[in-house]
Amino acid sequence: MKFDKSLKLQERFNRVIPGGAHTYAKGDDQFPEFMPAYIVKGKGCRVWDVDGNEYIEYGNGLRSVSLGHAFDPITEAVAAQIKLGINFGRPSTIELECAEAFLSLVEGADMVKFCKNGSDALDGAIKLARAYTGHDMVGMCASHPFFSVHDWFIGTTPMAGGIPDAIKNLTTKFYYNDLESARRMFAENPGKISCVILEAHKYDDPIDNFLHKLKDLCHQNGALFILDEMITGFRWHIGGAQKKFDIVPDLSSWGKALGNGFAISALAGKREVMELGGLSHNRERVFLLSTTHGAETHSMAAAIANIKFYKENQVIEKLYEQGTKLEKGIMKASRDLGLQDKVAIVGPPCCSVYTSRDQENHPSQPFRTLFMEQTMKRGLLMPSTIISYSHSDADIAETVEKIHEALVVYKKALNEGVEKYLMGRSVQPVWRKYNKEEAVH
């Protein structure tokens, strides 16, 4: 593959956009140095870059495109709505239609407020929790990598530049499947924690009724129980991971696959909490998610069409089915080369990722870089192994064949040294304090 046009664009991107991308996970430091691959179009599970290179894609818009790129039932609904106007000075009827369609899926949620991204939805949840409980602090699950771009979360990461210490001190941590860590958190901050925030599921299943016990612990301490369904919603179950694990949160945030890539997210929850952001109470008012573009009609149309397609087709089942085929194929290729301890699939089949380990079985950014270089050369854009409804059996078979070829090179690099096979600098972890820090080996 050639990347001449992409490489010429790279300097222009970085001159006018900080970091060269609008999402850190899409940045230059997350991909091989000489393979920037600027995308111009996508259809189904395939994308094409400015140089004309074609890829089977397994990033799917950071998990937001669950059906496929330019998926006809969605784009047709959006195109029809755009012709009717996209933003007005009063609520449009499609807002009610979308709200009722969404709430029909989320058991235990009485009200919903739409916005554009997951960070805003979670920030609204925190504001409601603080207003409802009278407490200021946030209890965050430290086992999960990302929740929000807002200060309450970013202040807990190595990239905390610009965040005041006073804000950092309002967030405390606990760990998934570690109820004792949550008990300590509450004990160390009595009467101060407004809520706990976590994903219902990531890679490890909840053990010993962890989610339900954590919810009880929250309520015993006057805190709200909030689930982040940004990734799990419309992948684990049409009703979210909360439905899969039979747990009803006080509030939950949704997005990504809700609109098959269109910009729509949602904050949903119990009426007694959500209504604090409304007009039917006499408590102090809460300024909750007042956004100019939060109710754009074409994004609502995308969500409605998406929900309809999910209800009429076995989308979740296919995500699990195709994800399982991909996992089995990759693991067979890995085992055949004796690499099963180095390159393995982790997480549920509907939303998995791969490991990249070195000779000592330590997570390795250089070996991740090598794997990405070798798969991109073969027409796979694979920062993860995220499946979509559009990935066919033929796509998966082609993927597995190309991964096997890439793993042959991976094995040589294990025996001879990864530096011999790397084309450029290593990719970097997003969460690092300085740009020039060494890659994690």
Q: Tell me the per-residue pLDDT of 69-98, one tens digit each, with 9 for 90 and over.
A: 999 999 999 999 999 999 999 999 999 999
Residue 99 has pLDDT above 70, yes or no: yes
Question: What confidence score (pLDDT) does residue 441 get?
Answer: 42
pLDDT tier, 435 (very low <50, low <70, confident <90, very high otherwise): confident
Q: Tell me the per-residue pLDDT of 107-119, one tens digit each, with 9 for 90 and over.
A: 999 999 999 999 9
Residue 272 has pLDDT above 50, yes or no: yes
Q: Tell me the per-residue pLDDT of 281-322, one tens digit each, with 9 for 90 and over.
A: 999 999 999 999 999 999 999 999 999 999 999 999 999 999
Residue 32 has pLDDT above 90, yes or no: yes
Question: What confidence score (pLDDT) does residue 177 get?
Answer: 98
Q: Sign of the C-alpha dihedral, residues 340, 146, 43, 31?
A: negative
Question: What confidence score (pLDDT) does residue 437 get?
Answer: 60
Residue 422 has pLDDT above 90, yes or no: yes
Top-tier CATH class for 87-295: alpha beta
Residue 440 has pLDDT above 50, yes or no: no
- What is the rounded distance in angstroms from the CA atom of residue 441 to the CA atom of residue 357? 8
Question: Same CATH fold, 87-295 and 4-70+314-420?
Answer: no
Q: What pTM did the predictor assign?
A: 0.94
Q: What is the DSSP string of 259-324?
A: GTTSS-EEEEE-HHHHGGGSSS--S--------SSTT-HHHHHHHHHHHHHHHHS-HHHHHHHHHH
Report, as an integer, the average pLDDT of 27-52: 96
- Annotated domain spans of the chain: 4-70+314-420, 87-295
Contacts made by residues 154-158, CB under 8 angstroms, sequence distance 24+:
157/431, 158/431, 158/432, 158/433
Assigned fold of 4-70+314-420: Aspartate Aminotransferase, domain 1 (3.90.1150)
Report, as an integer, the average pLDDT of 226-244: 97
pLDDT tier, 431 (very low <50, low <70, confident <90, very high otherwise): confident
